[in-house]
Amino acid sequence: MIRVMFVCAGGMSTAMTAKKLVEVAEKNQVEMEVIARGTTDFMVELQDNEYDIVLVAPQIRHRFKEVNAEVAKYENVVCEKIPPAMYAPMEPAVKKLFKFVMDALGK
């Protein structure tokens, strides 16, 4: 199972993109769990659960260094910025996001 956390401003687009990413993963026979957390509570989530990758949403990319510094405290967790063109709850964009995640994890 691949565990993905989106860090965002807490918007609806993140929840919809996360749901669509799980659907695309299923179509590719990949078991994936995706959750979204805001910048105020992602650190607690990282402490309590294991993740393979943390993705920073485009609307908070200015906080990437801060998020990446926290993620770096955990062994084997990748942290990446979501490219804006892949951050949409439509299948063509999410297919690219799925490939981005898989490539970032070396899978």
pLDDT tens-digit readout, 57-106 = 999 999 999 999 999 999 999 999 999 999 988 889 999 999 999 999 99
Radius of gyration of the chain, Cα coordinates, nearest whole angstrom = 12
Q: Give residue 46's pLDDT.
A: 93
What does each C-alpha distance from 19 to 49, 71, 73, 75, 86 come to in angstroms? 19, 23, 27, 26, 14
Residue 61 and residue 87 in contact, taking contact as beta carbons nearer than 8 Å: no
Q: Give residue 11's pLDDT.
A: 61
Q: How far apart are CA 28 and CA 13, in angstroms?
A: 23
pLDDT tens-digit readout, 25-53 = 999 999 999 999 998 889 999 999 999 99
Q: How far apart are CA 95 and CA 39, in angstroms?
A: 25
Would you say residue 1 has pLDDT above 90? Answer: yes
Would you say residue 56 has pLDDT above 90? Answer: yes
Residue 12's pLDDT band (cuts 50, 70, 90): low
